[in-house]
Structure 1
Amino acid sequence: MRSSAGNIKAQSPLNTDTVPHVIPFILSRLEAHTKAHVPTSSPPPFFVGLNGVQGVGKSVLVSQLKKTLESEPYNLRTAVISLDNFYLTHEEQQRLAKANPTNPLLQHRGQPGTHELPLARNTFRALRERDAVKLPVYNKAAFSDQGDRCPEAEWIPVNQEPSSIVRVVLFEGWSVGFRAFAPQRLGEKYEHAVSALRSAPDEYEGRLAHNTLRSLTTVNEALRR
């Protein structure tokens, strides 16, 4: 695991033994964050981003971190948000897929471009401003595992009372913190991948060369938003 400036990158399987190593990191950054907002008595929450490949244990880790941070001796109100919870609704995802029939990266949820950015922006803005807000919830099992956003009545309310304002936000997702490549750089990486596939098709293990540059550019541009 590597960490820097409020972002945690998981490179190997995570478990509850990881928590004692992460808590001091969060607390030290939270202290610096709080000092940076003196003299205000109402600083925005401290946002922590965590990314890692699917199945590495991100959800388990943030759940344990939340439990620890909200317990003695810290007593820090903590909100957990998954990037998955901002996926488009099933209906919106279907429309996106139909609008991009030749792009396999947009036929299902997962890639940049399959999330509702206005919802994400409004949610994070409310958290930053310490306003009452409901955190969206996504049901991956809906529509035979195609997934759909849960009704708003099932969303998680936070900041409902002055005594329960969120102090720490744990934001996890496989692409949290990702940045778009410059178009030229993306083109170079794509040509390198295609060359590798052509020269040794039985040895090529990547996915880049199995897509068109146009499809990859669409996803890359979504990261800019």
Structure 2
Amino acid sequence: MQPDELIESLRTNRLLAIVRGTDPDAALDTVLTLFGGGVRLVEVSLTTPGALGVIERARAVLGPDAALGAGTVLTPADARDAAAAGAAFAVTPGVTAALDRAREAGLPVVAGAVTPTEVALALTEGAAAVKLFPASLGGPAYLKALSDPFPAAHFVPVGGVDARAAAEFLAAGALAVGVGGPLVGTAARPGGDAELPARIAQFLRLVEEQPCSTS
């Protein structure tokens, strides 16, 4: 996936689902349920046990074109291994050494940042988009404030983004929102979560109601 393809997918779909769990098989089922329910961008956090195997198995099922990425990419080794497992993009919690390695491996990066200095550094280091994390610290008003000095930045708020906050961030100019627990629930843990399909439908309706105004 090229950086402009990731940006276009974020702009079109407006929802990045974050799978972070405790069971590899449940995490795989969650990824497949998300895609099957209509979510088109999914990241698997590398904090999930067996995350690389989850990505590899999901890629085998979903095919080469699915926008399946790796999250919580911290180190150059993480970036290398994520690319080898079949990740199409990488998401980092901050501006780390993984950013350069991910780009070298052909993975566009959504790099975590929260301060103006970190946003500037993420953009300088070639991030395709900026993961505003944790987004709950400043909320939509903070996103608007950051957008003034960084009008060309593509912001994806993550962290504490429930359905209400997602709508507010999108209305405030976010390119997309990253949603973990409020969407995935306990689906990626043993026992699963029978309410996941209903929440998928809820979030997809929500993002469809928020037309994207970013360029």
Q: Quick check: TM above 0.5?
A: no
Which of structures 1 and 2 has the bigger CA Rg? 1
